[in-house]
Amino acid sequence: MKQTFISIGNTLIPYLVAITASFLAAGLFIGMMGFDVLKAYETILLSSFRSPGAFAQTLVKFVPLLLQALAFTIPLAAGKFNIGGEGQLIVGAIGAAGVGIVFANLPIYLLLPLVIIAGVVFGALWAAFPAWLLYRFGINEILTTVLLNFVSFSLIDYIATEIWRDPAAGHPTTVPIGAGGELPLLMERTNLHAGFIIAVLIAVLVYIYTNHTSAGYELIATGANARASRAYGINVRSLFLLSLILGGGVAGLSGAIEVAGVHHRLIEGLQSNFLLLGLIIGLIAKGNHFGVPFVAFFIAVLEIGASSMQRTMSIPGEMVFIVEALILLFILLSDLVRKK
């Protein structure tokens, strides 16, 4: 018991130090620019907890961040870097919106599952291409997944301006999906939707898969040393393929949830900067699937704080993004200190 307590402490201390150091650095900069530092801190950290609505908003933000992080960390367990979560999200959203629009009249018990499944399948297919290139030709997945993000930007632009365009909207946007494709709300008078439950469920399943099953062990062994894993009977190439497709499916799910839970339509730019935040979350959590949801929640709090700060204090939200990147940098540095 005591042992566990110490080991949790040992894990948390570097995080607290990293967060403090990043905030100090950002505070110094904010102060130099002539803003009120303490008020900025307060806004960043506490905005999420000021009202039930703000808290619900945080949880809504938490959903795509968590899923994008998982889309990155599942392949990461096998040593593969999926930097294509953005494209997989967009294509997943396209699939979900397409089903939601085409079958708009289906009842909720049919349409909603179809919308969600379409998102997963489309996201997985978008990841399957780089995964196949890796499997078949041994092409590094990092560049192919990144480049496909740029392709997806064009794709969503085409769909939202040419195929299912909503003529009333100024921004490239499609017509809404059928009402049966919308995720139900969990709390009245907030926009917290049932996608939150799906995301948490996925996180739990991923944790069990990677940490408690033989199949998940193979994933981790492959990530630790693919060549040795192969020498001991693990089919590493198939695992690369599988892990990237799973990651793509989870990213596609995040796209479907954005469509079904938040926008109820396809909007260009709905991917926000979820990919980058997902990468930061996954790296801060060091790929540990127990830690990912907690880090994702923390980053969601910061992001809600960032928009509030930009609104009320006119400090650009990028400030918080840099804080998040600095936290990552300090976490990486703390590993070094511990090794010494």
Partner 1 sequence: MDQFDSFIGFARLILLALVPYVLASQGTMLSGRTGVFNVAQEGIMLLGASVGFLVALYTKSLLIGIVAAAVAGGIIGLALAYFSSTLKMDQFVIGLALFFIGLGASSLAFKLVVGVTLQLPRVPTLSNLRIPLLGDIPILGEILFNQNALVYFSVLISIALYYYLYQTSWGLELRAVGENPKSADSLGVNVVLMQYATTIIGSALIGVAGAYLPMVYTGVFTQGITQGRGWLAIALTFFGGWRPQLILLGAFFFAIVEVLSLRAQIVGSAIPYQFLRTLPYITTIFVMIYAFRWTRVPAFLGLNYDREKRSLS
Partner 2 sequence: MTPSESTLLEMRGVRKTFGPVIALDNVTLNVKRGEIHGLLGGNGAGKTTLMNVLFGLYKADAGEIAVDGRVAQVRSPREAIGLGIGMVHQQFLQVNSFSAAENIVLGTPLRNRPTLDLTTPKQKIRALSEKFGLSLDPDATLESQPMGVRQRVEILKALYRDAKLLILDEPTTMLTPQQVDSLFNSLRAMVKSGLSVIFITHKLREVLTLCERITVLRNGKSVITLAREEATEDTFIKAMVGEEMNIGRSLLFAKSSYETEIAQVGSKELLKVDGLSVEAASQENQVISDWSFTLREGEILGVAGVAGNGQHELAESLMGIRPCKGKVVFDGAEMTTLVTRDLLARGIAYVPENRWDDGLLPKATVAQNLILGSHRRPPYSNGLMLNLGAILKRSQELIDEFKIKTESPQSLAANLSGGNVQRMMLARAFSQNPKLMIVHNPTQGLDIPSTEFVYNKLLERKRAGMGTLLISENLDELFLMCNRVAAIYRGRIVGVLERGQFDAYRVGRMMSGLE
Contact 100, 168 (CB under 8 A): no
Q: Cα separation of 189 and 186, whole Å?
A: 10
Residue 22 interacts with partner 2 (CB under 8 A): yes or no = no
Residue 236 interacts with partner 2 (CB under 8 A): yes or no = no
Please give, one letter per residue, the 3-state secondary structure of 24-57: HHHHHHHHHCCCCHHHHHHHHHHHHHCCHHHHHH
Instruction: Indicate the SS3 state at residue 103.
Output: coil
Question: What does 221 bind: partner 1, partner 2, none (CB cut-off 5 to 8 Å by kind)?
Answer: partner 2
Residue with smaller CB distance to partner 1, 26 or 111:
26
Q: 123: closest CA among 157, 97, 159?
A: 97
Which of 11, 51, 213, 312 touches partner 2 by CB under 8 A? 213
Residue 204 interacts with partner 2 (CB under 8 A): yes or no = no
Measured over the CA atoms of residue 62, residue 126, residue 269 and residue 99, the dihedral's sign is negative
By CB under 8 A, which span of 124-132, 138-146, 233-241, 243-251 interacts with partner 2?
233-241
User: Exposure of 203 by Cβ count < 10 A (0-12 exposed, 13-18 middle, 19+ buried)?
Assistant: buried
DSSP-assigned states of every residue in 225-262: -HHHHHHTT--HHHHHHHHHHHHHHHHHHHHHHIIIII
Which of 217, 288, 307, 317 touches partner 2 by CB under 8 A? 217
Crossing angle of helices 318-339 and 2-32, in 10° steps, is 140
User: Cβ 335 to partner 2, closest distance in Å?
Assistant: 11
Contact 53, 190 (CB under 8 A): yes
User: Cβ 298 to partner 1, closest distance in Å?
Assistant: 16
By CB under 8 A, which span of 134-142, 211-219, 248-256, 289-297 interacts with partner 2?
211-219
Question: What does 114 bind: partner 2, partner 1, none (CB cut-off 5 to 8 Å by kind)?
Answer: none
Which of 223, 247, 261, 282 touches partner 2 by CB under 8 A? 223
Residue with smaller CB distance to partner 2, 50 or 338:
338
Residue 105 interacts with partner 2 (CB under 8 A): yes or no = no
Question: What does 213 bind: partner 1, partner 2, none (CB cut-off 5 to 8 Å by kind)?
Answer: partner 2
Question: What does 135 bind: partner 2, partner 1, none (CB cut-off 5 to 8 Å by kind)?
Answer: none
> Rounded to the nearest 10 degrees, how much is the dihedral formed by the CA atoms of 98, 101, 105, 109?
50
Residue with smaller CB distance to partner 1, 37 or 54:
37
User: Cβ 132 to partner 2, closest distance in Å?
Assistant: 21
Residues in a beta bridge with 173: 267
Please give, one letter per residue, the 3-state secondary structure of 260-325: HHHHCCCECCCCCCHHHHHHHHHHHCCCCCCCHHHHHHHHHHHHHHHHHHHHHHCCCCHHHHHHHH
Which of 232, 314, 336, 337 touches partner 2 by CB under 8 A? 232
Which of 140, 147, 224, 311 touches partner 2 by CB under 8 A? 224
Residue 228 interacts with partner 2 (CB under 8 A): yes or no = yes
* DSSP at 140: -
Which of 78, 125, 221, 292 touches partner 2 by CB under 8 A? 221
Which of 4, 105, 170, 227 touches partner 2 by CB under 8 A? 227
Which stretches of the chain bind partner 1, using CB under 8 A?
A: 33, 81, 133, 137-140, 142-144, 146-151, 154-155, 157-158, 161-162, 276, 279-280, 283, 316, 318-319, 321-322, 324-326, 328-329, 332-333, 335-336
Binding site for partner 2 (CB under 8 A): 212-218, 220-221, 223-225, 227-235
